Amino acid sequence: MKNHGTYFYPGDNSGARQVYCIQQSRTSLNIGDTITVSIKKSLPAQKSRVKKGSIYKAVICELKQKKSRFTHLNRSFSRNIVVILNAKGDPIGTRVKTLASFELRARGHAKIASIAPFIF
């Protein structure tokens, strides 16, 4: 189970290298949930859209933990990956480098699903 205090890796080109979960809405997290994160590592300020120590909302795109779909298909990934959002709920980065699942579109994150390279 992912709790606050979990480190995630960003799956976009916002400039962050590692983020830290500081708040979540539910006890059990799933793909498509929105969490509050703090930027722990980032690129230098000239190359980055985010600054170290700043707080943003993020959407979970991949989890290491096994999760099952309604088709009884268990899936897990190699890393915990999020996409960082701005105040309006749109992704900060212009590219998403991670896979998108149909749960993102079902939970109202169609913008992320549309710019992702692959939807499964």
Confidence at residue 74, expressed as pLDDT on a 0 to 100 scale: 86
**Looking at this protein, which amino acid is placed at residue 91?**
P
Confidence at residue 119, expressed as pLDDT on a 0 to 100 scale: 87
pLDDT at 4 over 80: no
pLDDT at 57 over 80: yes
Confidence at residue 85, expressed as pLDDT on a 0 to 100 scale: 97
Q: Are 5 and 76 in contact (CB under 8 A)?
A: no
Return the structure tokens found at 105. 């579109």
Model's pTM, two decimal places? 0.90
pLDDT at 26 over 60: yes
The CATH number of the structural domain formed by 7-115 is 2.40.150.20
Domain locations in the chain as residue ranges: 7-115
How confident is the model over 34-50, as pLDDT tens digits?
999 999 999 998 889 99
pLDDT band at 14 (very low <50, low <70, confident <90, very high): very high
36 exposure class (CB count in 10 Å sphere: 0-12, 13-18, 19+): middle
How confident is the model over 61-93, as pLDDT tens digits?
999 988 887 778 888 899 999 999 999 999 999
φ, ψ at 17 (rounded to 5°):
-115, -25
More confident residue, 9 or 68: 9
Give the integer Cα–Cα distance in Å for 80 and 47: 24
Share of the chain residues as helix, strand and coil, in percent rounded to the nearest 5: 10, 35, 55
Q: What is the mean pLDDT of the chain?
A: 91
Confidence at residue 1, expressed as pLDDT on a 0 to 100 scale: 56
| Residue carrying structure tokens 């509050």 | 36
